[in-house]
Chains A and B, each alone.
Chain A
């Protein structure tokens, strides 16, 4: 038992510093992929709602593919495939060999690309939930498209989609564990390395589960209060 405790401590044989770094990296990867997913998701939702026909189709196919293929495959494909793609592009066009994306970026990007497909659906639903009359009223009052988005769409959609985005965040957090297969030392991979080299898998996977529970609980609490704040004018 003392043995186990020193493995989890901050001493020379303790894994606490690496596990905590892993937590930070997990949060960083999840936040980056969430941001990538939001930007791309808004663009996809716009493409589905207002884009020209070919763009609508492209966005639709994107959603079907990225929501239908296992996240693990997307990560592996990007991790192994992206560098060779970049290199062959560079060769074709005669560029100098460009710097290659680090695993942090590849991991965030692959989780972000999947996240975007889900977020696009949420934004699309959010815009759909706004009464049509409001757009007509805005147009009647001479609002431009941008004004309409800023004054009518954004404040309402932000409130409507917040709980759903909270769900996507939780999925991102858990999907980030799959990036372990690229060797990025986030929480999952750190616990795997620790389990393998100390041969105490029960201990380290247990600790990792507890740490993920802390992360998911803290962030769902944050979203809960965020939701209360954004709805503060609704009450009573």
Chain B
């Protein structure tokens, strides 16, 4: 029993050292995917058909195929494309962490864009009309009226998507990245002690996800209009309009 605990402790110590890799992939692809999703959302409501078509194709392609296949395509498939393999881009594509982040950015941006699109459609028309009535146009309407509502509406689904992304980072292990799952498999290859190692890894993912959920839930509470009555009861200043 004591030997058992010692083993679990030493494995956990090894796995914890891989946590930064997992978090790095999550942070980079989370930020990039959100930025890209914002662009895709804008394209989805564009007046001309081309951006709308691009957004729809993007969503179709990346939501219709498994992420693991996208990762393999970018990592192994693109490496056989001469202008990538022998061009300046190779510096980036050579790196499996970059390939994972790129695949996750493309894939998750498609999902997040759908969340934003749904939230955009759910922003009450009345608020936008009221904004217009106050003389707001374009960017100011977006920043003062649409965006705050949109963020509040989208946040619960967005939080879910971030949790999904945390889980997806484990796919990096399939292309030689030594993230939590990668290290776990490495340890198993040497020790053949499957159960303890995978359970320790699972516990780490649960901890990361619990932390993220708590953070996002706190953010949701802060943005909750109904509870944050005092701050919203102050009428917005209109100076920037003059």
Chain A interface residues (CB < 8 Å from chain B): 64-65, 67-73, 76-77, 80-81, 84-85, 170, 173-178, 180-181, 188, 191-192, 195, 199-202, 205-206, 208-209, 212-213, 216-217
Provided the pairs A76-B198, A205-B76 are in contact, do residues A188 and B69 lie with their beta carbons within 8 angstroms? Answer: yes
Chain B interface size band reads 35 or more
- Can you list 17 A-B pairs, Cβ within 8 angstroms, ordered by A? A70-B168, A70-B181, A70-B205, A72-B181, A73-B184, A73-B201, A76-B198, A80-B188, A81-B194, A84-B194, A173-B66, A176-B66, A177-B69, A192-B72, A201-B72, A201-B73, A212-B66
Instruction: Check A76 against B185 for contact (C-beta < 8 Å).
Output: yes
Q: Give, as a whole number of angstroms, the nearest-CB distance from B106 to chain A.
A: 12
Given contacts A71-B167, A77-B194, A209-B69, 9 further A-B contacts (CB under 8 A): A64-B206, A65-B206, A68-B209, A77-B202, A84-B195, A174-B66, A195-B77, A209-B70, A216-B64
Which of A67, A72, A176, A213 is within 8 Å of B65, CB to CB?
A213
Which of A73, A84, A175, A209 is within 8 Å of B202, CB to CB?
A73
Instruction: Check B174 against A201 for contact (C-beta < 8 Å).
Output: no
Q: Give, as a whole number of angstroms, the nearest-CB distance from A170 to chain B.
A: 8
Q: Give, as a whole number of angstroms, the nearest-CB distance from B64 to chain A.
A: 4
Which of B65, B81, B181, B194 is within 8 Å of A212, CB to CB?
B65
Q: Is B141 at the interface (CB under 8 A from chain A)?
A: no
Q: Is B78 at the interface (CB under 8 A from chain A)?
A: yes
Chain B interface residues (CB < 8 Å from chain A): 60-61, 63-70, 72-73, 76-81, 163, 166-171, 173-174, 181, 184-185, 188, 194-195, 198-199, 201-202, 205-206, 209-210
How far, in angstroms, from A50 to B106 measured CA to CA in the complex? 42
- In the A-B complex, list the 9 residue pairs whose CB atoms are closest, starting with the nearest: A177-B66, A70-B170, A80-B194, A201-B76, A202-B77, A70-B167, A174-B66, A205-B73, A216-B64
Provided the pairs A202-B78, A202-B80 are in contact, do residues A177 and B198 lie with their beta carbons within 8 angstroms? Answer: no
Interface SS of A by simple majority: helix
Which of A70, A73, A77, A212 is within 8 Å of B69, CB to CB?
A212
Instruction: Check A68 against B163 for contact (C-beta < 8 Å).
Output: yes
How far, in angstroms, from A84 to B209 measured CA to CA in the complex? 29
How far, in angstroms, from A128 to B63 measured CA to CA in the complex? 29
Instruction: Check A68 against B205 for contact (C-beta < 8 Å).
Output: yes
B201 cross-chain contacts in A, Cβ below 8 A: 73
How far, in angstroms, from A199 to B76 measured CA to CA in the complex? 9
Instruction: Check B198 against A200 for contact (C-beta < 8 Å).
Output: no
Which of A67, A77, A80, A201 is within 8 Å of B79, CB to CB?
A201
How far, in angstroms, from A77 to B66 measured CA to CA in the complex? 21
Provided the pairs A67-B163, A73-B205, A201-B80 are in contact, do residues A188 and B68 lie with their beta carbons within 8 angstroms? Answer: yes
Instruction: Check A212 against B205 for contact (C-beta < 8 Å).
Output: no
B68 cross-chain contacts in A, Cβ below 8 A: 177-178, 180, 188
B170 cross-chain contacts in A, Cβ below 8 A: 70, 72-73
Instruction: Check A201 against B69 for contact (C-beta < 8 Å).
Output: no
B174 cross-chain contacts in A, Cβ below 8 A: 72, 181
How far, in angstroms, from A208 to B67 measured CA to CA in the complex? 12
Provided the pairs A201-B80, A205-B69 are in contact, do residues A213 and B64 lie with their beta carbons within 8 angstroms? Answer: yes
A208 nearest in chain B by CB position: B69
B198 cross-chain contacts in A, Cβ below 8 A: 73, 76-77, 80-81
